[in-house]
């Protein structure tokens, strides 16, 4: 697997989509601590993929992919909480959860190839 730019990495593209959706869904939310936490975690996924890639070292890239994977778990945890607190409908929560799980699996695949 060879990428010229982090923007070419499918996991980064999917993380961008997830982050965009979360920002849009919570744009009107007044629960600033919940909103901030899930937005920072989702942004962390894409930014750690980008930062690790730009380091141009497989070991460092792998390290940052593990951090991104951890942020995926944090996002899923926040989605579960958001569902319980009725921040998201069941359908939206399930969609976001599945997106995050897909990204996590992609990251695992990237880590294995490195």
Report the mean per-residue pLDDT for the chain. Answer: 97
Contacts 24+ apart (CB under 8 A), 105-108: 106/10, 106/11, 106/14, 107/11, 107/49, 107/65, 107/68, 107/69, 107/72, 108/69
pLDDT band at 75 (very low <50, low <70, confident <90, very high): very high
Is 24 part of any domain?
Answer: yes
Is 56 part of any domain?
Answer: yes
Q: Which domain holds residue 33?
A: 6-113
Is 1 part of any domain?
Answer: no
The CATH number of residue 12's host domain is 1.20.1440.60
pTM: 0.96
Number of domains forming the structure of the chain: 1
- Residues 46-73 have pLDDT tens digits of 999 999 999 999 999 999 999 999 999 9
Is 35 part of any domain?
Answer: yes
Is 66 part of any domain?
Answer: yes
């Amino acid at each position: 697997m060879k990428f010229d730019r982090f923007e070419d990495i499918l996991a980064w593209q999917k993380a961008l989509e997830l982050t965009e959706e979360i920002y849009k869904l919570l744009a009107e939310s007044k629960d600033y601590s919940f909103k901030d936490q899930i937005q920072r975690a989702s942004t962390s996924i894409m930014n750690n993929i980008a930062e690790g890639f730009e380091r141009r070292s497989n070991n460092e890239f792998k390290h940052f992919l593990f951090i991104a994977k951890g942020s995926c778990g944090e996002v899923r945890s926040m989605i579960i909480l958001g569902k319980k607190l009725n921040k998201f409908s069941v359908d939206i929560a399930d969609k976001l959860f599945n997106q995050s799980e897909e990204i996590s699996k992609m990251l695992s695949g990237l880590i294995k190839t490195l």
